[in-house]
Amino acid sequence: MTNDKRVLILGGTGEAATLAAKIDEIPGVNAIASLAGRTQQPIPLTTTSRSGGFGGVVGLTDYLRQERIDVLIDATHPFAAKISFNAALAADECNIPRLMLIRPAWEKVPGDNWIEVESNQAAANVLPGLAKRIFLTIGRQELSIYSNLKDIWFLMRMIDAPEANSLIPIGKLILQRGPFSLEEERSLLQEYEIDAIVSKNSGGDATYPKIIAARELGLPVVMVQRPSVPNGEKVADVESVISWVRNRLYQIG
């Protein structure tokens, strides 16, 4: 073992992949990127990486100790709440500094017609009476919530196909990873005669063009709000994480 400092990055986002590469470039620092292992072809990582759940708070605590992690960066997706709370508890248990990288949420601008809801279940509840042909962009994990809406046709876009036996709403699946251009999004909405969108408020640029296209076409967007995040230090961009890590590692010595 060297004396290099070890930084664990909880990932699953584009920012996390970029961040891991940049942290690994800091002299005397090793970055280890962690993925949940759900996506068949994840964004390629250039650093040491691991894949799969840790086994809850206890498993993550053990991992932090066994791997002699000095600093933990939570760069998971804003909707990945469980791992963020696990990370908070495990880092506290090990007395390891922890930082959350949270990309800013999208903000409503003039011309947007958003119906803001707390959850996918709440989104499904508002759809009857609102629209007949929905562009559903919530990933694959909670698709079944919409499957009993038999009078609505769904265009569903996600990276990987849903599990074999999962309940899928009536409609069409598109398997694609962003970024998507405004032109692509506009023509998709027009081609499938979409009359409303359901989206998580993921933030970031890669999937924002659908929101612009909805605004241009005067379509309502049912926007699922983010879950709460644990207490602790937070920054909004990769460069701020790098500064924070440098500072923390300097303090650790």
SS3 190: helix
- Enumerate residues 23-42 that contact ligand NAP by CB under 6 A: 34-36, 38
Q: In what order do the strands lie in the sheet with 221-224?
A: 114-117, 221-224, 196-200, 133-137, 153-158, 171-175
Question: Which of 43, 80, 117, 217 is close enough to bind ligand NAP by CB under 6 A?
Answer: 80
Give the residue nearest to ligand NAP (CB): 53
Contact 204, 180 (CB under 8 A): no
Residue 12 in the binding site for ligand NAP (CB under 6 A): yes
Residue 179 in the binding site for ligand NAP (CB under 6 A): no
User: What distance, in Å, lies between the first and last C-alpha atoms of the chain?
Assistant: 17
Residue 83 in the binding site for ligand NAP (CB under 6 A): yes
Question: Which of 47, 86, 137, 207 is close enough to bind ligand NAP by CB under 6 A?
Answer: 86
Q: Which residues of 79-114 are buried (b: 16+ CB within 10 A; e: fewer)?
A: bbeebbbbbbebbeebebbbbbbbbeebeeeeeeeb
Question: Which of 5, 77, 103, 248 is close enough to bind ligand NAP by CB under 6 A?
Answer: 77
Determine the interface stretch with ligand NAP among 54-62, 96-104, 143-151, 184-192 (rule: CB under 6 A).
54-62
Question: Which of 4, 25, 58, 59 is close enough to bind ligand NAP by CB under 6 A?
Answer: 59
> Cα separation of 56 and 68, whole Å?
18
Residue 11 in the binding site for ligand NAP (CB under 6 A): yes
Residue 47 in the binding site for ligand NAP (CB under 6 A): no
The residue among 30, 29, 68 whose CA lies nearest residue 48 is 30
Residues pairing with 48 in the sheet: 32
Contact 138, 202 (CB under 8 A): no
Residue 177 in the binding site for ligand NAP (CB under 6 A): no
Residue 10 in the binding site for ligand NAP (CB under 6 A): yes
Q: Strand 48-51 and strand 71-74: pairing? A: unpaired
Residue 128 in the binding site for ligand NAP (CB under 6 A): no
| Size of residue set near ligand NAP by CB under 6 A | 24
Least distance in Å: CB of 202 to ligand NAP?
Answer: 7
Binding residues (CB under 6 A) for ligand NAP: these are: 10-13, 34-36, 38, 53-56, 59-60, 76-77, 79-83, 86, 139, 200
